[in-house]
Amino acid sequence: MRAYERFLKYAAYPTMSDDTTGTTPSTAKQLVLAGVLAEELLALGLSDARVDEFGYVYASLPATPGVECDRIGFIAHMDTSSEASDENIRTAIVDYKGGDILLNEEKSIVMKVENYPYLSEFAGQHLIVSDGTTLIGADDKAGIAEIMTMLEQLIASGAPHGKISVAFTPDEEIGEGADHFDVTAFGADYAYTVDGGMLGELEYENFNAASAKITVHGVSIHPGSAKDKMKNAARIASEFDALLPENEIPERTEGYEGFHHLLSMKGECEMATLVYIIRDHSREKFEEKKRAFEQKAEIINRRYGEGTLELELRDSYYNMREKIEENMYIVDRAKTAMEELGIEPIIVPIRGGTDGSRLSFMGLPCPNLCTGGANFHSRFEFVSVEAMDKISDLLVRIAENVAKD
């Protein structure tokens, strides 16, 4: 079975995570796909395939008898982003010749090259898209499909290989994918997350990340008698946001530039809340951005009284570069395998994070590999059929090369 065929099957399962439930997995629907994946692993011959109490799927392929080499792992996540619907996903395969793509004639939804200039680079390929009303879940069900296909190909070929561990995690999209990951039971010396973008992307740097929740306490009173009495929490919340650097936002940054991002805003006169994420590749600049939030909170409280604004800051993960640089041979192995297959390595920093970010700090060095998709977290998400084939081959080649070293 080709990777794209598996992906189409997995895409039909809704698996959106939810950061408000306080459970692991955060949504029960992730467990449905977890069970399907465990059954598929068992059918492939990985007899230890299982779903643990937290919804993580683990399995391992024993080393070929007589082969002694590094134990490697491959990891992808099951959940999808809440930025676009995961219900009633309708996928289609487009034989892409170039130009704009009509996703939904009835609703006049078009993926336009002027909005996504890199779309033209996929001319001559077959692209899996949605009908423009949902995402397709390539982030990261494409990674799962590629790992599964790698296992099938490796077993069928009989090529010598070392022990290969695989894991499919819940809740990566809400920053909790590594919360209950059992590194010891996983049993690998290092791993690769298959959770990146376009073919050739190879990443070992990511943002340092934190979340910030702002709660503003106001005082409501009839506006006719409000002078010197009312404290409008919604307006004060807007005032706080206006104090932050206006150019340090996602839509005005790129590359190594960090940002703060307002995820949600709710407010009335009596109470308002703002939820942000804070990101920067530089640990020093990351800490500066957090201090800026604290300083702006102090400004608001001086203006409106102590306790008007409460700030909760929580670190999420750190830049895995400092851990990967101690083990750069892992990146070099992936780069060599790409070159052998005619894939041009594109080494770029992740403007985001993966499970590998935290796993690297948990003792499992874990750079990130491409999946062949783009426009993740969007109704305009797509993935290339041909790129998925090449990435499955890439994973096989990495496993084979480790056994030869």
The β-bridge partners of 11 are none
Ramachandran assignment for 15, one of left (phi > 0), alpha (psi -120 to 50 degrees), beta (any other) = alpha
Q: Average pLDDT of the chain? A: 96
CATH number of the domain encompassing residue 132: 3.40.630.10
Q: Are residues 276 and 396 in the same domain?
A: no
Q: Are residues 12 and 125 in the same domain?
A: yes
Q: Are residues 297 and 327 in the same domain?
A: no
Q: Pick the catalytic residue from 79, 152, 173, 355.
A: 79
- pLDDT tens, position by position, 117-154: 999 999 999 999 999 999 999 999 999 999 999 999 99
Q: Backbone phi, then psi, for 19, in 5-degree steps?
A: -80, 5
Q: Are residues 310 and 328 in the same domain?
A: no
Q: Are residues 14 and 126 in the same domain?
A: yes
The last residue of one of the domains, among 248, 283, 316, is: 316
Q: What is the pLDDT of residue 287?
A: 98
Confidence of residue 352 (pLDDT cuts 50, 70, 90): confident
Q: Pick the catalytic residue from 131, 140, 152, 172.
A: 172
Q: Are 366 and 326 a contacting pair, CB within 8 Å?
A: no
- pLDDT tens, position by position, 370-381: 999 999 999 999
Q: Backbone phi, then psi, for 60, in 5-degree steps?
A: -145, 145
Neighbours of 349 (CB within 10 A): 15
Q: Are residues 197 and 114 in the same domain?
A: yes
Distance between CA atoms of 385 and 91, rounded to whole angstroms? 13
Q: Are residues 273 and 381 in the same domain?
A: no
CA angle 44, 45, 48 (to 5 degrees): 120
Q: Are residues 20 and 167 in the same domain?
A: yes
The last residue of one of the domains, among 274, 291, 316, is: 316
CA-based max dimension of the chain? 85
Q: Is the pLDDT of residue 11 over 90?
A: yes
Q: What is the pLDDT of residue 303?
A: 97
Domain total for the chain? 2
Cis status of the peptide bond prior to 18, with omega within 30 of 0: no
Confidence of residue 175 (pLDDT cuts 50, 70, 90): confident
CATH number of the domain encompassing residue 246: 3.30.70.360
Q: Are residues 230 and 295 in the same domain?
A: yes
Confidence of residue 94 (pLDDT cuts 50, 70, 90): very high
- pLDDT tens, position by position, 303-327: 999 999 999 999 988 999 989 999 9
What is the Rg, in whole angstroms, of the alpha carbon atoms belonging to the chain?
A: 23
Which residue in the block uniquely carries the two structure tokens 């109704």?
379
The last residue of one of the domains, among 298, 316, 334, is: 316
Q: Are 140 and 57 a contacting pair, CB within 8 Å?
A: no
Q: Are residues 65 and 134 in the same domain?
A: yes
Q: Are residues 190 and 62 in the same domain?
A: yes
Distance between CA atoms of 205 and 310, rounded to whole angstroms? 32
Q: What is the pLDDT of residue 145?
A: 98
Confidence of residue 4 (pLDDT cuts 50, 70, 90): very high
Q: Is the pLDDT of residue 184 over 90?
A: yes
Which residue in the block uniquely carries the two structure tokens 């909170």?
297
Mean pLDDT confidence for 297-307: 97
Q: Strand, coil or helix: what is 79?
A: coil
Q: Are residues 199 and 228 in the same domain?
A: no
The β-bridge partners of 346 are 201
Domain encompassing residue 328: 3-206+319-404
Residues 6+ away with beta carbon under 8 Å from 66:
none
Distance between CA atoms of 392 and 258, rounded to whole angstroms? 32
Q: Is the pLDDT of residue 404 over 90?
A: no
Confidence of residue 405 (pLDDT cuts 50, 70, 90): confident
Q: What percent of the chain has pLDDT over 90?
A: 95
Active-site residue 86, yes or no? Answer: no
Active-site residue 310, yes or no? Answer: no
Mean pLDDT confidence for 244-248: 96
